[in-house]
Copies of this chain bind each other. A is one copy, B any other.
Amino acid sequence: MTKLWKKDEPIIKSLLETDVYKILMLNYIFRNYTNLQATFSFINRTDVDLLQYVDIDQLQEELAHVSTLVFTADEIAHLKGWAMFQSGFAKNLAELKLSVPEVSKSADGRLQIEASGLWSHSTLWEIATLAIVTELYGRGKAKAEGLSETQLYNSGMDILLEKVAFLKENPQLHGSQFGLRRRFSGPWEQQMTEVLLAETNFLSGVSNVRLARELKVEAQGTNAHELPMAAYAYARAKSNFDARNSVYEVLADWQALYGQTALIMLPDAYGTDVFLEKIPDSYAYDWRGFRQDSGDAIEFGEKIITFYQRYGIDPLEKLVIFSDGLNLKRMQQLQSHFAGRINVAFGVGTNLSNDFGLIKPLSLVMKLTKVNGLETVKLSDNIAKATGDPKEIEIAKRIFGYDTTFREEVVY
């Protein structure tokens, strides 16, 4: 039996223990937002008192270890092998030095973690922090519940093998493993991925750069909300007009870096409907497709099909990636709904990397909350997922002409 935990080792042992899209975004940030100050804040969306299970000293020790890591020459050479980056990126990576986030306890006793500084630094804390907190929580919770490593492992493996059986019956399903940030543990993420690779044809790739490298599978990722959120916050401090345009400028800058590769739009930060309404025509032709991360998935896919048809583009040349709280059944449903109409792909996270039955995974996130000292705001296609100051949310709605009313409480 593989161990669930390696308690004598740090949880994060390499800066490549991060999602592919963080590396792509890091390159983008170094180039376009070199001096931007950004804060990422840890947010526990549940009522669970984390400090009951997570030892704050141990947490700080794990974070401190991450801050000692650098991108090694070997790792940089590996990233160069992707042939996606200009030469300056290697130099920026080599010089990157993280400082430890601030860990504290709020007045009402909740765990607080804030990473501040240059955006190119603070962005790297999101994945590391979430993976560390989640793993420490799992250990603490298991102890509190009197669950042994073997019990947990067996339960997790049973559930995984049910999925393997399901995937064998549904060989048309393919997806990318996006589960790093909320994985039950590092060893488990690896074990689970190895099983899926050995037993099924499901995995098209893995988001964890280190793991993809080690298992020799494709490292896959797109881009995240932090891009339009930072661009919007920065531009909003100039004019509402610039703020409105910022979400497209982000993509133009992205395309300028990555040419025709890695061109997946994430349209929902300030509402997909209004995003599609004002989009410059060329984006419809140049970009490979869209990622869905909030709101109703079927409705989203239908919108995208209509969108491409409006341009006379065959949707079967394009792609929708679903990544919002998926499980295998949901994937199967989406796949069959869109079969023969538009290409679909899936990014599956928690449901693969933290599904043990005995311990419920928590909805933990670490979000971009401040840009140059100003609070960020996001709307998303599910207004329950909107973040930021209520007044600024209303302003953003006006700026974008947002009138989506979909609301669904967020589980994870």
Contact = CB atoms under 8 A, between A and B. Distances in A.
A44 interface: no
A238 B33 contact: yes
A34 interface: yes
A200 interface: no
A343 interface: no
B32 A237 contact: no
A399 to B, nearest CB: 10
Contacts of A405: none
Nearest to A237: B372
A345 B240 CA distance: 38
A375 to B, nearest CB: 13
A127 B237 CA distance: 25
B241 A36 contact: no
Q: In which size bucket is the chain A interface? A: 10 to 19
Contacts of A237: 35-37, 234, 372
A237 B241 CA distance: 19
Contact of A239 (B34, B239, B242): B34
A236 interface: yes
Interface in A20-62: 31-37
A401 interface: no
B372 A240 contact: no
A241 B30 CA distance: 11
A338 B372 CA distance: 47
Contacts of A34: 238-241
Given A372-B372, A373-B373, A32 B234 contact: no
Interface string A231-256: 00010111111100000000000000
A37 B31 CA distance: 26
Contacts of A241: 31-32, 34
Contact of A238 (B35, B236, B239, B240): B35
Contacts of A32: 238-239, 241-242
A34 B240 CA distance: 7
Interface string A338-376: 000000000000000000000000000000000011100
Nearest to A242: B32
Nearest to A236: B35
Interface in A266-306: none
A241 B237 CA distance: 19
A118 to B, nearest CB: 11
B373 A239 contact: no
A201 B36 CA distance: 53
Contacts of A372: 237, 372-374
Interface in A206-253: 234, 236-242
A240 B373 contact: no
Given A33-B238, A372-B372, 9 more contacts: A31-B241, A32-B239, A32-B241, A32-B242, A33-B239, A35-B237, A37-B237, A234-B238, A372-B374
Interface of A: 31-37, 234, 236-242, 372-374
- The 10 A-B pairs of least Cβ separation, nearest first, read A34-B239, A237-B372, A33-B238, A35-B239, A36-B238, A33-B239, A35-B237, A34-B240, A234-B238, A32-B239
